[in-house]
Amino acid sequence: MSKFYVVATPIGNMGDITLRAIETLKNVDLILCEDTRETKKILNKYRINKETMSYHTQSKLSKIDKIFELLEERKDLALVSDAGTPGISDPGAMLVSKIKEKFSSDEVQVIPIPGASAVITALSASGLPTHEFTFLGFLPHKKGRETLFKEIAETKRTMVFYESPHRILKTLESLARFCPNKKVCIARELTKIYEEFKTGSPKEVLDYLIENPIKQKGEFTVIVS
C-alpha cells in the first residue's frame, strides 16, 4: 500500500507548521507542490531535502498519470499548496478525488495532515458568530455574482469567502448595496507582520479601505454575519 498525504502548510508565518507535517515531508518519496519555488522556502527553512514536482490548475492529464504511476509503484507522496490546507479552494481537491476514484483504500491510503487554514484562522478572531457558517471559496467574477450577494443578504448563517485586493472594493460596494445592515469583518495578511481585522457595516469597512489605500493590499478573507 502507498500513502498519499494532504499536508497543510503555513498561510504566512513560517512557524505555523506542525511537527507532524515536518516529519511527513521528510519521509515521503516525493512532494507535489502548487509552486515548487514557494514550497522550497519551507523545505529550506526546516532542512528538508526532498524531490518536488509541480501540480497546479494548469497541470496536464499526463501529470496525473505520472502521479498514478508513482502510487502504483508504492511510492509515498505528499501534496502541499502554496499556503494553507490543500483542497480548500485549491486544485488539489480534484487530484484527491481522482486518486479516490482510481484506487481502493487498500491500495492507496489518503491521509490528511491538518494545520493552518485562512478560513478557520479568520473566523476564530473575527468576533462574529461561528456556530454555523458557509464557506464560499472565491466568488465568481461575473456570472452568478449578483445572485450570490442576494443569497448572502437573505441567509441567517455567517458567510465566509476569499477576495483579492483587486476586487475587494467592488465586493464591499455590493455588500453595502444588498445587505447594508449586516456586519462585515475583513481579515487581511493573516499571520503576517501587517495582519489586520476590520469590522463594521459594509459601508464603514468600504470607507475605511478607501481612506487608507495601503490597506487594500494583500489577500482578504471576508466574513459576513
The predicted structure's pLDDT at residue 111: 98
CA Rg value for the chain: 19
Q: What is the mean pLDDT of residues 29-40?
A: 95
Q: Please check the confidence at residue 136 and state whether its pLDDT lies above 80.
A: yes
Nearest to 26 by CA among 54, 48, 7, 2: 48
The predicted structure's pLDDT at residue 89: 81
Give the whole-angstrom CA distance, residue 39 versus residue 151: 37
Q: Please check the confidence at residue 59 and state whether its pLDDT lies above 90.
A: no
Q: Please check the confidence at residue 60 and state whether its pLDDT lies above 80.
A: no
Pairing of strands 2-7, 158-163: unpaired
The predicted structure's pLDDT at residue 143: 82
Q: Give Cα 45 distance to the centre of its chain.
A: 21
| Residue 144 binned pLDDT confidence (cut-offs 50, 70, 90) | confident
Task: Tell me what percent of the chain is helix, strand and coil, each rounded to the nearest 5.
Answer: 40, 25, 40
Q: Which domains does the chain have, with CATH numbers?
A: 2-113 (3.40.1010.10), 118-224 (3.30.950.10)
Hey, what's the cell of 168?
A: 475587494
**Alpha-carbon distances, residue 173 vs 76, 141, 188, 214 (angstroms):** 47, 14, 18, 18
| Residue 147 binned pLDDT confidence (cut-offs 50, 70, 90) | very high
pLDDT tens sequence across 68-123: 999 999 999 999 999 999 988 888 889 999 999 999 999 999 999 999 999 999 99
The predicted structure's pLDDT at residue 142: 82
pLDDT greater at residue 169 or residue 141: 169
The DSSP bridge partners found for residue 3 are 109
Hey, what's the cell of 203?
A: 459601508
The predicted structure's pLDDT at residue 141: 84
Give the whole-angstrom CA distance, residue 122 versus residue 120: 5
**Alpha-carbon distances, residue 42 vs 18, 22, 35, 37, 111 (angstroms):** 12, 9, 12, 9, 20
The predicted structure's pLDDT at residue 45: 96
Task: Compute φ and ψ for 60, nearest 5 degrees.
Answer: -80, 165
| Residue 19 binned pLDDT confidence (cut-offs 50, 70, 90) | very high
The predicted structure's pLDDT at residue 62: 77
Scanning 61-117, the segments in alpha helix (DSSP H) are: 61-72, 92-102
Kindly report the number of other CB atoms within 10 A of residue 142's CB atom.
6
Give the whole-angstrom CA distance, residue 95 versus residue 158: 29
pLDDT tens sequence across 155-214: 999 999 999 999 999 999 999 999 999 999 999 999 999 999 999 999 999 999 999 999
CA atoms within 13 Å, Cβ hemisphere of 200 = 11
